Amino acid sequence: MAIDPNKHPMPTQAPEERAHNFREVALGYTLEVAREEASRCLNCKNQPCVKGCPVGIHIPQFIQALRKGEIEEAYQIISLTSSLPAICGRVCPQETQCEQQCTLGIRYEPVGIGRLERFVADWHNEHSTEAPQKPESNGHRVAIVGSGPSGLTCAGDLAKKGYQVTVFEALHTAGGVLVYGIPEFRLPKAIVAREVETLKALGVDIETNVIIGKTLTVDELFEQGYEAVFIGSGAGLPNFMGIPGESLKGVYSANEYLTRSNLMKAYRDDADTPIMKGGSVAVVGGGNVAMDAARTALRLGAEHVYIVYRRSMEELPARREEVEHAEEEGIDFRLLCNPVEVLGWNDPENPRDPKNGFVKAMRCIRMQLGEPDASGRRRPVEIPGSEFTLDVDTVVIAIGTSPNPLIKSTTEGLEVNRRGGIVINEDGLTSRKNVYAGGDAVTGAATVISAMGAGKTAAAAIDKALCGEQN
């Protein structure tokens, strides 16, 4: 049988429909389609895809099980190395990881590994009746700071080995960036909640509304009897551009905008949480967060949404699939443009005009690409005299985030690099004894899967440190 050169397309909600609701865009494969896609896998011996996966999922094995219709077996194979398959199957940038390495991809489209992972995880979640067993305690206590992907993974791995694990979360809901950052239409919150419930069933204690560095310090955790601490506090500090007008009303960091919509549920009609809805919205930046913010704005009722990005489509760091989805939904990409000033309403004749102090427009300048910079991408340079104005009511700045500084400033002897990332060794150990770290708190904003990998590495190292080699 000849190999189908193309991946089986992912069924999605129609663009015109989904642009007005917050339900998940991608609907997932059926069993039949999943098995057909699985049959595209060449099951090659050298398994290049596995090398492309930050946690080394046994990809050909799970795909072969799926091909035979052994879905639960496929799930168990994924579970050997990955803790959050339903999440990673949705948000991993497979096109630059496993799928980029796929042998089939040399001539054709690679196997849709992410879509298959998602199918297997969803099937398991729907059909499995097996309740997680709480393992016997080994008497050791570990504290995890932050309940994002690195913290949840570290907590899960340690709990399975019998550690008494407490996860401290600063916000009111566990999940970190998976709940405050990634919107419902890309990652339904019920999936995250399910992962958290599984951890609780394993005996993990989750304490929300506890801000480590304020409510309790890392040192106090040791005083309370925790023997090791893992810091997975993420990168929640938004970067701004430093241009005039950024403090006008209607200018948000993507972090605030998405937190209001996702975590504080402003996307729902019955929510109290204020957020600017409707009008014209400009989102500055070209990453996944920028796409999330732009598509959220559209769903909140914006009439026109721009993505303003200083490089070209080729350099856009967002996942290709997200960019395509955004384009289909009608997001207006203004590439090779950079904001120079946010302009506000100001009527001196009528100082009581309620519009005063709010955003009116954004001045931008056109850019062209020059020589490659340190990152290897061609450096954008301004084209003199090319300024123009976009009339907008809301501006969302999505140009990246930095590690949260709170723990560094309250933990003596914890070394960070010049970007604020916590310095660790290959085991995830920081400059402080028995204090480990991983995820965005170390790397700055990166991917869910790499944070998960860091959580696993640290869990193994903590186990070795507390229980020695016998495990």
Q: Which is nearer to other proteins, 47 or 401 (CB)?
A: 401
* CA atoms of 182 and 177, how far apart (whole Å): 6
Q: Is 209 in the site for other proteins (CB under 8 A)?
A: yes
Give the torsion sign (CA, 382, 385, 388, 394): positive
Scanning the structure block, which residue is given the tokens 């204020």? 274
Instruction: Candidates 86, 170, 302, 331: give the one binding other proteins (CB under 8 A).
Output: 170
Q: Which is nearer to other proteins, 46 or 208 (CB)?
A: 208
Instruction: Candidates 10, 50, 193, 211: give the one binding other proteins (CB under 8 A).
Output: 211
**Residue numbers 179-198 binding other proteins by CB under 8 A:** 180
* CA atoms of 329 and 295, how far apart (whole Å): 8
With H, G, I as helix, E, B as strand and everything else as coil, classify residue 207. Answer: strand
**Residue numbers 377-416 binding other proteins by CB under 8 A:** 401, 404-406
Instruction: Candidates 145, 152, 171, 451: give the one binding other proteins (CB under 8 A).
Output: 171
How many chain residues touch other proteins (CB under 8 A)? 34
Instruction: Candidates 30, 128, 133, 208: give the one binding other proteins (CB under 8 A).
Output: 208
> Beta partners for 390?
362
Q: Which is nearer to other proteins, 89 or 181 (CB)?
A: 181
DSSP string, 297-363: HHHTT-SEEEEEESS-GGG--S-HHHHHHHHHHT-EEEESEEEEEEEE---TT-TT-TTTTBEEEEE
Q: Which is nearer to other proteins, 248 or 369 (CB)?
A: 248
State how far Cα 282 lies from the chain centre.
21
* CA atoms of 285 and 301, how far apart (whole Å): 21
Instruction: Candidates 41, 155, 216, 462: give the one binding other proteins (CB under 8 A).
Output: 216
Q: At CB < 8 A and 24+ separation, what contacts does 101-107 make? A: 101/48, 101/49, 101/51, 101/52, 102/48, 102/49, 103/42, 103/44, 103/48, 104/3, 104/40, 104/41, 104/42, 107/5
Q: Is 346 in the site for other proteins (CB under 8 A)?
A: no
Q: Which is nearer to other proteins, 51 or 268 (CB)?
A: 268
CA distances from 374 to 317, 371, 378, 420 (A): 16, 10, 9, 20
Q: Which is nearer to other proteins, 279 or 420 (CB)?
A: 420
Least spacing, CB of residue 251 vs other proteins, in Å: 8
Build a one-symbol-per-residue string for 235-274: x at contacts with other proteins by CB under 8 A, - elsewhere. -xxx-x----------xxx-xx--xx---xx----xxxxx
Q: Which is nearer to other proteins, 53 or 283 (CB)?
A: 283
Interface residues toward other proteins, by CB under 8 A: 170-172, 180, 208-211, 213-216, 236-238, 240, 251-253, 255-256, 259-260, 264-265, 270-274, 401, 404-406
